[in-house]
Amino acid sequence: MNSSLIIMPFLGVVLLNLLYKTAFKKIALGIGLALSFYQALLCVLPGYFTWANRLDVFGELFRFNLVVDPLTVVMLLCIGIVSFVTLLAGNALIEDKEQRFNFANLLLIALAGMNGIVMVQDVFSLYIFLEITAIASFVLIAFDKGIASLEGAFKYIVLSSVATVLMLSSIALFLVISGSTSFAAIAGSLKVSPDVYLAMFAIAIFLCGLFIKGGLMPFHGWLPDAYSCASGPVSILLAGIITKTVGIYTIVRIVSGVFGFGASLKQVLMLVGAFSIVLGAFAAMTQKDLKRMLAYSSISQVGYIVLGFGCGTTLGIAGAVFHIFNHAIFKSLLFVNAAAVEKQTGLKDMDNMSGLAAHMPLTGTSSIVASLSAAGIPPLAGFWSKFMIITALWMSRYYSYATIAILASVVTLGYLLTMQRKIFFGKPDASSSSVKEAAFSLSLSAVVLSAIIIGTGLFFPYILKTFIFPAAYVLGAAIGVQ
């Protein structure tokens, strides 16, 4: 069952291209929608991680060592939801049938790559799936072949190549140290000799590679250009899930399951998280381009995840896992609405927009929901994950970090409300008189994501009990936190 989530998307790509006919061009997006919906549905079934590991027929056949635990379920759910709404957006925004077919193929490859990342149990397989996802991302960023998107893709390739060299070098060192690339073997070797300089160097360069992949400051150089220059559907996928899977999730998994949670590593994570929160938020304030502002906002928001995880308590880890899910949803919604606004107006500069809520009420309303959730306003989902992170920091006596997290949320609320005022409120000008609400697929995406944000906020005790705390306990047990 586990390996089917990798094999089925790849099989879909193979069949679509072997049976390359007009009929298959038309159903390519439909296949992607069906697979991503199926994945999300599996993850909400009771006890999925228990029975999925017992029914992995493909895994036994192809000797795949893939494991699904509660954290994996959270990530697979995020991947399924964001992939689904990305394909819906692609249906509305990509008019050429050939381009739709190509887009569906690339997304299926990225889907398989991300699913592999969250299920593998050795660092070399992890690297392979990271690169599969990265290659699909390169092509997706440059998908519309514009100068800006090609430049964004080039920056991503260059910095991702640096990350690749760092990670491959680290994997080679781990192989020397432990004689294996499995998580368990490396973790065992590091416990025996945690202070060996070679091991410390390997950990440091591997983390630097992941910081680049995750777009954390000061390793973020590629991210604003990639997010803002990519086409609408690609921006949703990148901001919603790819960066969090290849960078943030991998940091959480590797640190907890392989590297251990020493005091120095804990401080590094908290410093990088706080640095990203503050500079990302203030950089977002200065932007006029809507998608570029949302890109810097993403850097700030993932900083909360790293800061909460770095806190090292069960509550902090739970808040970090919860914020991974919440950020995937509300950031995807913000980029869905950014794509809708750009499609309907042809504009990205917020200073040139005004009063669009009169013509795009659904987009304007759902944008408010996403913005308030991102800023941590109750009772929306984003409030609870931020509240958990800040409470964990305060209870652990990290008062300065807790204060930074609170003040940055105020800054976030400020620039997102400014965005709302500039784009959706105010007096509509003459140039917006012909603007209409977004296409059905985009509107459906906005409704689905808004419902998840509101529903998660209202029913957060059930969400915590069913999904978040089980995932946190897995991570906590790995690092010795009860």
Q: Identity (one letter) of the amino acid at 211? A: F
pLDDT at 406 over 60: yes
Distance, in Å, from the CA atom of 270 to the CA atom of 310, rounded to the nearest integer, reads: 5
What is the arithmetic mean of pLDDT over 315-339?
92
**pLDDT level of residue 188 (50, 70, 90 thresholds):** confident
pLDDT at 351: 79
Distance, in Å, from the CA atom of 212 to the CA atom of 194, rounded to the nearest integer, reads: 24
Domain extents in the chain: 4-478
Summarised one tens digit per residue, pLDDT across range 25-38 is 778 888 889 999 99
Closest CA to 388 of 317, 459, 328, 451: 317
Joined tokens for residue 373: 């959730």
Distance, in Å, from the CA atom of 235 to the CA atom of 227, rounded to the nearest integer, reads: 5
**pLDDT level of residue 22 (50, 70, 90 thresholds):** low
**Could you report how far apart the first and last alpha carbons of the chain are, in Å?**
31
Distance, in Å, from the CA atom of 135 to the CA atom of 129, rounded to the nearest integer, reads: 10
Distance, in Å, from the CA atom of 358 to the CA atom of 434, rounded to the nearest integer, reads: 11
Distance, in Å, from the CA atom of 428 to the CA atom of 425, rounded to the nearest integer, reads: 8
Q: Identity (one letter) of the amino acid at 219? A: F
Classify residue 391 by burial, with Cβ atoms within 10 Å: 0-12, 13-18, 19+: middle
Joined tokens for residue 395: 């209870």
**215 near 302, Cβ under 8 Å?**
yes
Summarised one tens digit per residue, pLDDT across range 386-397 is 999 999 999 988
Transcribe 149-164 into DSSP letters: HHHHHHHHHHHHHHHH
Classify residue 330 by burial, with Cβ atoms within 10 Å: 0-12, 13-18, 19+: buried
Could you give the 3-state DSSP secondary structure of residue 454? Answer: helix
Q: Which long-range contacts (CB under 8 A, 24 or more apart) does 45-48 make?
A: 48/73
pLDDT at 482 over 60: no
What is the arithmetic mean of pLDDT over 460-465?
89
pLDDT at 21 over 70: no
pLDDT at 320: 92
pLDDT at 388: 92
Joined tokens for residue 266: 């804990």
Cα angle: 326, vertex 83, 232; to 5 degrees: 90
Neighbours of 365 (CB within 10 A): 15
**323 near 304, Cβ under 8 Å?**
yes
| Mean pLDDT value across the chain | 85
**What are the distances in angstroms from CA 286 to CA 241, 356, 418?**
25, 22, 11
Distance, in Å, from the CA atom of 120 to the CA atom of 183, rounded to the nearest integer, reads: 9
Q: pTM for the full model?
A: 0.92
Identify the residue with better confidence: 215 or 404.
Answer: 404
What is the arithmetic mean of pLDDT over 364-392?
91
Query: How distant is the alpha carbon of residue 401 from its chain centre?
Result: 23
Summarised one tens digit per residue, pLDDT across range 196-251 is 788 888 888 888 888 888 888 887 777 888 888 888 888 899 888 888 898 889 98
Summarised one tens digit per residue, pLDDT across range 42-86 is 888 877 666 566 666 555 555 567 888 889 999 999 999 999 999
**pLDDT level of residue 478 (50, 70, 90 thresholds):** low
Q: Identity (one letter) of the amino acid at 66? A: L
pLDDT at 258 over 70: yes
Could you give the 3-state DSSP secondary structure of residue 316? Answer: helix
Closest CA to 223 of 168, 150, 159, 131: 159
List Cβ neighbours of 275 (8 Å cut-off, separation of 6 or more).
Answer: 217, 218, 303
Joined tokens for residue 153: 């893709």
Transcribe 169-209 into DSSP letters: HHHHHHHHHHS--BHHHHHHHHHHSTT-HHHHHHHHHHHHH
Distance, in Å, from the CA atom of 285 to the CA atom of 280, rounded to the nearest integer, reads: 9
Summarised one tens digit per residue, pLDDT across range 126-185 is 889 989 998 898 888 888 777 877 888 888 888 888 888 999 998 888 888 888 888 888
Block residue for tokens 């977002």: 284
List Cβ neighbours of 273 (8 Å cut-off, separation of 6 or more).
Answer: 216, 303, 304, 305, 306, 307, 308, 309, 310
